[in-house]
Amino acid sequence: MNYYTGQEGFGRYSYKENLKFCYYARGSSEETKDWIRKAYNRNLIKENEKQKIESFLKEFPIKFNTYIRKIKEYINNE
């Protein structure tokens, strides 16, 4: 499955700035879960679409938190 990987985080030149952006992005992923539920309840998306998105959103925080931990390691080693 291909997901849009826009360049919203592009241009974050320091680890601290990138880390702050990651916290916002992580929060947005949590908000997305709620909007997917609302979209499904309002019959705006189908069950299979909801399941695909929820599957991605279940894996995403695990991988993203690993990325955040790595950034923190770089900051601590600066």
pTM over 0.85: no
**What's the rounded Cα separation, in Å, for the pair 54 and 50?**
6
Give yes or no for residue 35 having a pLDDT over 60: yes
**What's the rounded Cα separation, in Å, for the pair 21 and 26?**
9
Within a domain: residue 47? yes
8 Å CB contact between 75 and 16: yes
At residue 17, the pLDDT reads 87
Q: Tell me: the pLDDT tens digits for 3-29?
A: 444 455 555 568 888 888 889 988 999
Within a domain: residue 72? yes
Domain of residue 64: give its range. Answer: 15-77
Within a domain: residue 20? yes
**What's the rounded Cα separation, in Å, for the pair 29 and 39?**
15
